[in-house]
Chain A
């Protein structure tokens, strides 16, 4: 069942993004940034964790999840270390995405050239 929900949810968000991309002057950069902020917001109001439980991979593979991880990291940091914890905890959960993207991009750039 979770497969179906995952499919529907991510398909829905992507479709929404596609509609915005086709009909407004907003670029892909605008949309991904907006979705990251929305993800952080949904995490803040407690909706995103619920989404992850019910929709599984459908919610974790989207860029909204990135915003969600940022917020969760900051919130947990606050719980354990107060105000400073927001700063120290922010990037902890999203580290895997950022670090892997940086490392893989760099290594690959050493070996590949742009083609068309």
Chain B
């Protein structure tokens, strides 16, 4: 079965870094914001590594932990060979598990962390992810300065890094369950329409989670999707109603919640950092959200196969979080 229940997994600390555009957007409560895409580094890729290193350092110092107090470091990012995460992990003596699920990396790392803690095989785990607008642009699309025109359905990669500590010590934020999604390919080749690519996978995972946990959508205060974008969210609601005959009324899309309309970010933000950024900066800060379902949506495409006229597969992973009062 794809869903697992947890009794003994809690979220302890978090650290959020936001980039220049995110700082001026809708969110507050960043632990740190950076003004410059290069963040004291020579290249944008090294800047992403630096962001992750800063997150881990701050998480450790928040709890006065040494490297040896953390059992595993689980994380991933968008770059080739998840290099931002690997290269930041080399600074720490923590056993490293690299995971990749594109923009669904964060819930996937929570899934692995929660399983290790629940089984008693770990006490403290750091889960982290990052994305950087310019490094993603270089890798997936065009040179940074190139004036590439995008249609209104396209999303822009967000810049930031987020890390959390999972623990078996009781805190106010409990990880209750998680569902791993199947890879769904709807036969779409258009990279500028990620909402359409990922919405069916998102719907499939939400439906399976609710079915396995025996719940209805209204039993959650909010369902937070990763980065479907404004267009993708409406596709998700339509698709869900059509295919599963249920309405999803309480969906908030993380990607659409980061930027102001005046920042001209097309259909919203994308990247693995969107979901945890909005979770930490908005959802966990708001006392009205107690039962939260986060669904990361990842598009598993690669430029190589895309150029060979392949279609884009997508996956979504869900994690149920309860904020105890």
Contact = CB atoms under 8 A, between A and B. Distances in A.
Interface of A: 21-22, 25, 28, 113-116
B37 interface: yes
A1 B317 CA distance: 63
B145 A114 contact: yes
Which DSSP category, helix, strand, loop or mixed, fits chain B's interface?
Answer: loop
Contacts of A25: 189-190
A28 B148 contact: yes
Interface of B: 20, 37-38, 44, 133-134, 143-145, 148-149, 151, 189-190
Nearest to B159: A116
15 contacts: A21-B149, A22-B151, A25-B189, A25-B190, A28-B148, A113-B38, A114-B44, A114-B134, A114-B143, A114-B145, A115-B37, A115-B144, A115-B145, A116-B37, A116-B134
Contacts of B134: 114, 116
B144 A116 contact: yes
A22 B190 CA distance: 13
A27 to B, nearest CB: 9
Given A114-B143, A116-B134, 7 more contacts: A22-B151, A25-B189, A25-B190, A28-B149, A114-B44, A114-B145, A115-B145
Nearest to A22: B151
Contacts of A116: 20, 37, 133-134, 144
Contacts of A21: 149
B144 A114 contact: yes
Which DSSP category, helix, strand, loop or mixed, fits chain A's interface?
Answer: loop
Most buried by B among A21, A25, A114, A115: A114
Contacts of A28: 148-149
A114 B44 CA distance: 9
A104 to B, nearest CB: 14
A115 B20 CA distance: 12
Contacts of B20: 116
A113 B42 CA distance: 10
A110 B151 CA distance: 33
A95 B22 CA distance: 45
A98 B204 CA distance: 52
Contacts of A22: 151
A113 B46 CA distance: 14
A63 to B, nearest CB: 15
A107 to B, nearest CB: 15
A43 B148 CA distance: 29
Most buried by B among A21, A25, A113, A116: A116
B62 to A, nearest CB: 31
B227 to A, nearest CB: 19
A113 B44 CA distance: 11
Nearest to B192: A25
Nearest to B145: A114
A92 to B, nearest CB: 29
Contacts of B151: 22
A22 B152 CA distance: 11
Contacts of B37: 115-116
Nearest to A114: B144
A21 B134 CA distance: 24
Contacts of A115: 37, 144-145
A75 B38 CA distance: 50
A25 B190 CA distance: 8
Nearest to B37: A116
B22 to A, nearest CB: 13
Contacts of B144: 114-116
Contacts of B189: 25
Contacts of B148: 28
A99 B313 CA distance: 43
A76 B268 CA distance: 53
Nearest to A18: B149
A28 B143 CA distance: 14
